[in-house]
Amino acid sequence: MKHSVASTALTFFFAKSSASGHGNVRRAREMMSEKAKEGTVKPPNIVVFMVDDLGFNQLGFRAKETGNDEIYTPAIDAYATEGIIMDRGYMTPWCGPSRAALQTGTYSSFNENLSNQQYSFDSDIGFIGGLPANVKTLPQALKEHANYATSYSGKWGIGGTAWANTPLGVGYDDFLGFFGDSVEACDGTMPPGVEAGITGTQFFRAMKNYWRQSRFNCDSEVCSLIRSVSSDTLTDAEKDIACKTKVRDPPQLIDLDLVEYTKSTIEKHNYKEGPLFHMHSTQMLHTSMVYPKKYDHESHLLDRDNYPDYFKYDGIDKPPASNEDMRIAYANYLRFLDDIFDEVVQSIKAAGQWDNTIVLFTSDNGGATYQFTASNNYPLRGAKLSMWEGATRVNQFLTGGWIDRDINQDRNERSDTYVFPADWAPTLLQMAGASKDLITGNKEGSTYGNEMWSYIKNSVVNRPPTSQANKPHQLERQVTYTPAFQYDVKMDTTYKFLDTGLKPQAFTRHWSPIWPVNDDIIPDFGYLSVKPCRPGGVTLDCCMFDLTADPYEEDPLDTNCVAKAQDTRDLYDASQASACAETEWLCQTDTSDIDQKSGVYSLWSLQGGSLSYSSPNKMCL
């Protein structure tokens, strides 16, 4: 499908015109309904709660394990431990690819030649930013399976300069949020300092960028103009979406507005007509950092003079970290996040739907450590935008009454099953009683997701060791997001390979539980330009880790870099073959025919960002 710059012009014109009541797990396990026993249970409601740039050491149940007492998230901790904590839950290293993979069950839209940072149009190729039009999505598959109502709130980040790539164009009935990578949540405009000089960026800056889409909306006041546009420019389906899209005056604090919309959606849905799928994607913890000031006034961290013992290194008192205030602000920011998540859960319970609801909580990638951030991924190495575990292994858990109703026996609260971002669409479909074929067809390969619920269940159920062979907790496979790295998952161990190439690579120094890190450099500047993997003193052009024995990537294994790099490349190419056949331009290697003035393009994000902004963070209210 082609989209022209006229679509942009139309959009521009349009733009102008508390932890109580967590429940009792044992009681939930004992109280299976008669309908469940008879096998007549309705398909479960599904709520996905995605946090932007959440660090691995930034939830209370993780932080306590490392001696970090600054993090206070009691509601999230309670729901996580009542559910199943995914100790090996993975995402891609940055925003857009994770969001696209989770909602499509595939990485096949990924093009190694394209950047996450930019988007554009081309007169010959058409629109090439956002989800390709031929990729089926989770909301579309759920509708096909059981007539799910589908809605979305918050950050979209995987398309928006063409109507077909907005939520209403890919299977959602209703949407409130912003299409781009970030907004200034105090006033609904893009922060200054975003990369300029690419087609559409100036237009994007001028937008309020806060939108409401609904197939139930009355047509907008400019719909007659939209209908008059030639069908060579906009298809009838795109015109329908445009007519159902309205710019919304941004509230004072967007995350509060979003949670009110989510709560209203959950509480007002008619569950007798069918189940609900809702995805809530927060603005936080992405820059710019915005939260109500009351969390500062009520802070549990007001005593800044007495630092814990782990602010001392080798017995030497260290000076306060230069990002001290940011660190404390992040701790308070997380208390706001905790309250937001608790409100969503309480709305599910108020609707009487907790026992038939699956909630997936996840970050989109690891915590960021660039300017104006203070995330912490301890004890993992690295951060957002890298290929280390600190970028890809994330805070993730399943909760909701449906979980124990389905398992219906004693279980552990933690799973060590490896689950990757493209697995979640097939897995949620499986949990809803459908097949992954609804979303990925019969395609196989390392860039397509798998149904993982049975493996997750096997990993948490108390079972005799003799039954493990018949009830595996891992799906043995090779997984790759790019031609430069892969995970090789086996039953007893998992190997990770990184092709670091011939040039020196920047890598993060080792973390400590809270700032400062183990040298006097704050994380913004805590990088070294060296080749990071030197087993036995031998410098390699790659890194290989046994993640079972070495989860923190400290002891690289000796390996044949050339052979392993070729194996990874072959794996990636084989998985991309079917996607290339369907959409040839996705896999083109020669970009010379693309307008070079527009730079490189993104399939993943409207305003790919993930960059540090030049403006300081702001606290509202």
Domain that holds residue 591: 5-598
Q: 444-462, pLDDT tens digit by residue?
A: 777 789 999 999 999 999 6
Residue at 429 is within a domain: yes
Task: Measure the CA dihedral 182/187/188/189, to 10°.
Answer: -70
Name the nearest CA neighbour of 122 among 595, 550, 609.
595
| Structural domain count, the chain | 1
Residue at 415 is within a domain: yes
Beta bridge partners of 312: 317
Contact yes or no for 99/130 (Cβ under 8 A): no
Residue at 613 is within a domain: no
Q: 203-244, pLDDT tens digit by residue?
A: 444 456 788 999 988 887 778 888 888 887 778 888 898 899
Q: 466-487, pLDDT tens digit by residue?
A: 445 567 899 999 998 777 889 9
Residue at 321 is within a domain: yes
Name the nearest CA neighbour of 125 among 237, 5, 242.
5
Q: Which of 98-112, 348-362, 496-510 has the highest mean pLDDT?
A: 348-362
Burial class (CB in 10 A: 0-12, 13-18, 19+), 10: buried
Which CATH number does the domain housing residue 21 bear?
A: 3.40.720.10
C-alpha dist (Å) from residue 522 to 317, 389, 515, 612:
16, 19, 7, 15
Q: Can you tell me the distance from the alpha carbon of 138 to that of 169, in angstroms, rounded to the nearest whole number? A: 13
The residue assigned the tokens 């549990």 is 300
| Main-chain dihedrals φ then ψ at residue 208, nearest 5 degrees | -70, -30
Confidence of residue 586 (pLDDT cuts 50, 70, 90): very low
Contacts of 287 (CB under 8 A, 6+ apart): 182, 191, 368, 372, 373, 612, 613, 617
Name the CA radius of gyration of the chain, rounded.
Answer: 24
Residue at 610 is within a domain: no
As a whole number, mean pLDDT of residues 292-310 equals 59
| Main-chain dihedrals φ then ψ at residue 95, nearest 5 degrees | -60, -65
Name the nearest CA neighbour of 255 among 316, 158, 339, 174.
339
Is the preceding omega at residue 379 within 30 degrees of 0, hence cis?
yes
In the predicted structure, residue 201 carries a pLDDT above the cut 70: no
Contacts of 415 (CB under 8 A, 6+ apart): 84, 85, 86, 87, 88, 456, 459, 460, 473
Residue at 339 is within a domain: yes
Contacts of 397 (CB under 8 A, 6+ apart): 79, 80, 83, 84, 85, 86, 89, 360, 361
Would you state the pLDDT for residue 81? 96
Q: Mean pLDDT for the chain? A: 74
Q: Can you tell me the distance from the alpha carbon of 169 to that of 162, in angstroms, rounded to the nearest whole number? A: 9
In three-state form (DSSP H/G/I as H, E/B as E, the rest C), the secondary structure along 464-528 is CHHHCCCCCCCCCEEEEEECCEEEEECCCCEEEEEECCCCCEEEECCCCCCCCCCCCCCHHHCEE
Residue at 554 is within a domain: yes
Residue at 194 is within a domain: yes
pTM, entire model: 0.82
